[in-house]
Every structure is written in C-alpha cells, then in structure tokens.
Amino acid sequence: MSDVSGLQLRGKTYFARKRVPDDLRKIIGKRELTKTLETSDKRVAKLRLWPVLSAWEAMFADLRAGIFKPTLVPDRREPITPEDMEHASWWHYTAALDRLEAARRQRPTKDEIEAARRQAEVEVHKMNTADPVAVLGIAVDYMVKQGHRQFAADTRATYLDELRKHLAEDETVLIDHEVEAYVTENNLAVLPDSPEWRELAHRIMRAEIEALQRAQERDSGDFGGQPDDPIVRPTPAPRRPVTPPAERIPAVLDLFASDNPRGVSRDRINQIKRDVSLFLDVVGHDVPMSAITRAAVREWKALLRQFPVKATDSNTFTGMTMREIVEANVKIGKPIISDRTVNRHLSSLSAFCVWAIANEHLEQNPVAGLSLAKENTTPRVPFTVDQLNTLFRSPLFTGCAGIVEWADMHKPGSHLIRDYRYWVPLIMLFSGARNGEVAQLAVADVRQMHGYWIMHITDEGEGDKSVKTEGSRRVVPIHPELIRLGLLDYHRRQQEAGNVQLFPDVERNERGQIMGRYSTNFGKYLSAIGLKAGRGLSLYSFRHGVTDALRAKYLNHEFGFILGHDKATMTGRYGIMPQGPLEKRVEIINAITYPGLDLDHLIPT
C-alpha cells in the first residue's frame, strides 16, 4: 500500500494505478490501468508517477472527445492459456506473501515500543500536569506503536473474512485490480467480467487467502506453512512466442531510415532516429512496435516538457535514462527544451509511425493530435542592406586576429579567411541555397553548361552528400557577383590541387551535420560584431533575403525551384538541361540584387 494516491507497492516494486472511468471501460476494455515504475525507491516512484497519471488523464480526455479510439483488445495481445491460469495463482501468492512479510517487518519492535513508553513518561514528567488530554497527546506515539501489531492482525483477519465471503458469493471487486495487473503484465487478451476474467479472479482470491493465512501463522512464529489449496502451487511462467528481432522497433526504424519515403536529408533521418531512440528510453530499447501506444507517447511528451537542453550531450547526465535525467535536473536546474523542440521530437516519431502504418507495422498513429500549440517565437528575418555592409566589412571577411578560434575572428587583424567560412555566406546571399547544400559541393558540381557557370546541388557523386528532399536536387546558375568576387578562381585552385570537395576543410559535428558547428559559431559571431541580440538573424537570413529579392519581380511559384521548393525532376537528378530553360534560370538568379550593398573591397586585386 502507499499513502500517495495512484501509487501502489507490489512486492518490492512501485506501480502507477488508476481506475478507468465508468463511461470509458467498454472502450478501453479495462477497469483499471497499471504500469510499473521500475523502482523500489518511493521518492523516485513519486517523481515517475505524475507523467504516467497525466498521460492517462489526457488519454481519457481524448477518448471522450473522439480524437483517439483504441481497439477493445489490442491485436497483439496473447490469448490466455491453462498454463497462464495455473501460473497466476502462484504468481499472486508469492507477490502477496512478499508484500505481507514486508509490512510485518516494518512493525515496531519491543525495544521501539519500550523507548516510546519511556519517552512518554519523561515528557509527562517535564510537563508536570494531570490534564488527561495533555497526557494523551504525549502518549499517542507510544499507544500507536503498542497497538500496531494487534491492529495489523485485526485488519488482516477482517480482510480474510471478507475475501472468503466474496469468493463464496462469486464477487471479484476486492481483487479486480490484481487481475488487471496480471493481464497487463503478461499481455493477455482478457476482457473484464468475461469467464476467463472471473476464473482468474477466483484463483487470485484463493492465492490471497493462502498468503493471509501464512501471515497469521508467522505472527505466531510458524514460518514453515505451505499452501493447502491445491491450485496454489509452484508453476513456471508460460513460455510465449518472442517477438522476432525484425518486428521490434529498432529494426523497423532501420528499415524506415533506409527506405526514406519522403527523400529527406540524411541529417533529418539521423535526427528522427535520435528522437525515436529517446522515446525508446521510456518504453524499452528492444520492444515490439505495439509498444508505441497513445499512453506511452503521452508519458514521453510529459517527460520531454521537463527535458534539459542538450541533455544527451552533457557529461552531467552521462549514463542516465530519460526519466533519470528529468529527475536529476529537478535539483540541477538546467534550462529545458522549448515547446518547438518538443514538437520536433513528436514530429519525428509521427513520421516514423505514418511510414509504419503504410508498411503494416502499425494500425494507427498514436502521435496524431498531440503536438503542443505553436509558441510565439521570433521569426528568422533577412539582413537589411546596412547589416550586410556591416557584416561584409567585419574581420571575418576583411582580416581577423586569428583563423583557428572563433573568439579571434571578430577582432581586426592581418589574417585573411578565404575557405568555406568566407564563401558559404556569399554563395547563400546570391543563390538562396541552404548552407549544407553549399558546404557539400564537389569540385565537379561547379561547371559550365551552355556557356553559363552553374552549381549542381545533388546528393549523388563523390563525398558524403545529402539533400533535404528529392525536389532539392537542382541546377542553380552562378551569380555574376560571385564570379566578380573570385569564386571561379577559388574553384580552379581546388581543381588544380586535386581536391574532390570544393570546401575540403569543412568538418561535420558529432551528429554528422555538415554545417552544425559553423551555424552555431556564425550566430555567436553576429552577436560579437553587434548585429544580433537574441533570436532572428542567422545563416538562413541569407536565404530569406534571396526570397525577398526575387519576390520584387516574380511570384513564388515562378522561382521556388531555384530554392529547392519543387518536385523531383530528371534535371535535378542529372544536372543536365536544355539551353532555353537554363537561360530562364540565369535570368532569375541575376534578379537577385541588393541596392546599396557594396562588396568592392572584397574583389581580389
């Protein structure tokens, strides 16, 4: 038992427990929900309890609103067998005996009772009073300890009598929660009030009666008692078919990643795998797809809303599970992830579930409708012309104090940077390409076609390359300003050096993101030179600037393909196109202008 509502101790393990409302019992197929909290520590159990209870409450609300309709009995539950019936009796007998023995051992000892009596006498003597109320108040601890054994024995005797009456009257209400626990723990397809349910209840009641009789015997010093009821005997747990590895979540997730149904970038696929792996921290790392339930997702979401920023990368939380990280952070107090990041995790799991439904690994998407309301965040904005002039006259582009540490790059000096750190922002400014698309360009991706220089943005060819979607593969003409600034000379030098990559010095971060470190450091650089305060400006501001520049002359659908917002095409795949369509692209790229922007100081001399 426990003094915390919804918390139950079974043997040495705490469980969450909640009664199913009457109006939802037929839908859920249970009278009560139970879930192990996987701990014998009451303090830890209390911390783990509320996400489970809140997930169940949210599920009840969804069911009443008609948002989510589970099947009455999950298809992947096992039918109950005679072996299960036999096992249930012994399973409950041993668990109940452990529970009763633990309670018996917590009774006050004779020494503790005597100490309480002496303390009461001392306190009465100090007060020097004959007031019976005052004396009673002082002696209450002694009286509770003295009467504890008899009270516990009387309570067990009363419960034993009631159980025998209920067994004779075919009533199961006193034991239904234990039946539900056995059915849930063993994944059995047994409906409340069915014949199988009632047989289980009778067996478990008989096992409880036997355990109570053993407790009475032990109170008298007899520890050798054995069950007299013939159905309560040692029985091994039934052997059940094991879910094949190929049908477990990790294996199915690998299939999803290799299939990549929407042709998204490798970075996004890796992000989805990381997010789903965090979900597995809650349900188990080698479980079947049926473990992705609405309740499990609700519980995960509740934990996500308390999850620290970059917790999985922090040495502080090394070796901890998701629950343990959340619990530890109650004291540590690191900032938690934003609602937007919570939604990204949910979106990752949802994308996996949608694919799993299409491939018959799941029947419905338990994540649907669980996203948080979108928070009001500062949108990414384009640079103004004044900001661009400030940026391109700053030390990163004109000469800095050092080329290794970013802390030195905002300080004026004689070191010129002319690698990817210099070129990626400029190419983004005059192409609208994503930073990763630019950074992964191969030398062979920059070439002439019909007399025009182009960039072929693709995930094919040499190098570890990816694109966000299949429609992101495209041919983008090189802007005249980039040629004026010396991009083709830089390309020629890389070609002569025998480099495969246009920017051979680019390094991926620990998550495999090609511009992850640069993007973070570039944001800090903008703050260091006074262009950024809070959120807003970033590398993607260049891409937004291109969009605004093109909208001055074209409608969105007339230039979306330049930015990679289009369906997949053979042109994008092979980088070959007729002269007429290419010249149209040249016209669009040349329309990218920023009146008032002066880059003359960057032209090579």
How high is the pLDDT of residue 464? 62
What does pLDDT average to in each consecutive run of 10 residues of the chain (605 residues)? 68 78 74 77 78 76 63 50 88 86 78 76 64 58 68 82 89 82 75 82 92 89 90 76 72 88 78 90 80 86 90 80 85 87 92 90 87 63 93 96 93 95 96 91 92 87 62 87 96 93 83 80 92 80 91 86 68 56 92 95 91
Q: How far is the C-alpha of 590 from the C-alpha of 559, rounded, in Å?
A: 12
What's the token pair of residue 596?
Answer: 């008032």
Q: Are 145 and 162 in contact (CB under 8 A)?
A: no
Nearest to 10 by CA among 88, 102, 142: 102
How high is the pLDDT of residue 481? 96
How high is the pLDDT of residue 603? 94
How high is the pLDDT of residue 33? 80
Q: Are 322 and 278 in contact (CB under 8 A)?
A: yes
Nearest to 479 by CA among 327, 591, 402, 583: 591
Q: Are 369 and 62 in contact (CB under 8 A)?
A: yes
How high is the pLDDT of residue 403? 92
Pairing of strands 446-449, 452-457: antiparallel
How high is the pLDDT of residue 572? 46
How high is the pLDDT of residue 469? 65
Three-class SS state of 359: coil
Q: How far is the C-alpha of 547 from the C-alpha of 555, rounded, in Å?
A: 10
Q: How far is the C-alpha of 549 from the C-alpha of 431, rounded, in Å?
A: 11
Nearest to 441 by CA among 454, 457, 430: 457
Give me the domains of the chain, ranges plus CATH numbers.
7-219 (no CATH), 245-358 (no CATH), 385-602 (1.10.443)
How high is the pLDDT of residue 72? 35
Buried b (16+ CB within 10 A) or exposed e, 471-483: bbbbbbbbbebbe
How high is the pLDDT of residue 573? 45
Q: How far is the C-alpha of 574 from the C-alpha of 557, rounded, in Å?
A: 22
Three-class SS state of 46: helix
How high is the pLDDT of residue 266? 77
How high is the pLDDT of residue 105? 77
| Exposure of 157 in the CB half-sphere (CA atoms within 13 A) | 9
How high is the pLDDT of residue 268? 82
Beta-bridged to residue 7, according to DSSP, are: 16
How high is the pLDDT of residue 461? 61
How high is the pLDDT of residue 241? 58
How high is the pLDDT of residue 384? 93
How high is the pLDDT of residue 472? 75
- Amino acid identity of residue 409, one-letter, is M
How high is the pLDDT of residue 75? 37
Q: Are 495 and 404 in contact (CB under 8 A)?
A: no
Q: Are 447 and 456 in contact (CB under 8 A)?
A: yes
- Amino acid identity of residue 340, one-letter, is R
How high is the pLDDT of residue 405? 92
How high is the pLDDT of residue 207? 92
Residue 520 to residues 27, 220, 446, 477, 526, Cα–Cα distance (Å): 49, 71, 27, 28, 10
- Amino acid identity of residue 242, one-letter, is V
Which residue matches tokens 């020629």? 492
Residues 6+ apart with CB under 8 A from 237: 87, 91
